[in-house]
Amino acid sequence: MFDTFKLEMIDLKEATLRVRYGGSGPPLLLLHGHPRTHTTWHRVAPIVARHFTVICPDLRGFGQSSKPGDPNDHEASSKRAKAGDCVALMDHLGFDTFHLAGHDRGSYTAFRTAMDYPHRVEKLAIMDGVPILEALERCRSKFATRWWHWFFYAQPGKPEQAILADPAAWYGGNEEQMGAENFKDFQDAIHDPETIKGMLGDYRAGMFIDHLHDCQDRAAGKKLGCPLHVLWSQLDDLGELYGNVLAVWQPWAKLPATGRPINSGHHMGEEAPEEVAAALLEFFKAR
């Protein structure tokens, strides 16, 4: 897994991140989703690394990266704080500007990074996500039923009890689909109580503070200045919930949003790595 990539624990000003990086060429930062770690990219990263220097961190609160001391400290778990980690990481690695892609919860950190640091992000790819504010404002019974975990995970205490009673049963996943090493890394993460708290902090921040940052940006007329490309899983429910996914994103971007569905379930980097890698390369290599 990640043959020729380096693996390091990197101390930043506000967090310590476990980071895997390799390849050569322009920098591309890949951000994972919940409940995965950076190893979810193990099939995509080597393909993309033929053309880019690929950087895959565990987000703050996830995997083996450091956790906020208080799981209910919404500022410390916010996408704004994690965006600061991303920029600090790229500073540490010597990259002034970079390409950025985020999946699931990582897509929210990617979006916030591009909004808060517009001169740093050259291009942005969003995978299986819409802005948190859009999701909450468009919430209807179907969304609340399908995405009930958003509201449950935001509660204090009870989600930890439910998940830690049997993490493997709660999250599912299997070695054949995920790959042996990725599956083990995932299992290690979900059986660690501090990581469960860290991951839930991401949801709590989403419900209590992240959407307020989106509100402030919209009120100020702030939009993404970089090219935006959106990918969504054809076998998941993003298209069903929102219809025209690009139309949801377009008000947040100055340039025309592009994108398409990927023929996979939600964890597209694991289920359709060649298609995902091809889509990312097509977008990031285009001039």
The answer to whether 188 is a known catalytic residue is no
Question: What does 150-205 look like in DSSP terms, one character per residue?
Answer: HHHHTSSSHHHHHHHT-HHHHH---HHHH-HHHHHHHHHHHT-HHHHHHHHHHHHH
How far is residue 181's CA from residue 178's CA, in Å, rounded to a whole number?
Answer: 8
Annotated catalytic residue within 58, 104, 210, 236: 104
Instruction: Phi first, then psi: give them for residue 121, nearest 5 degrees.
Output: -95, 120
Contact (CB, 8 A) for 51 and 22: no
Contact (CB, 8 A) for 223 and 252: yes
The answer to whether 104 is a known catalytic residue is yes
How far is residue 61's CA from residue 197's CA, in Å, rounded to a whole number?
Answer: 8
Annotated catalytic residue within 51, 92, 191, 266: 266
Contact (CB, 8 A) for 15 and 22: no
Tokens of 162: 């439910």
Cβ count within 10 A of residue 60? 27
Catalytic residue annotation: 104, 266
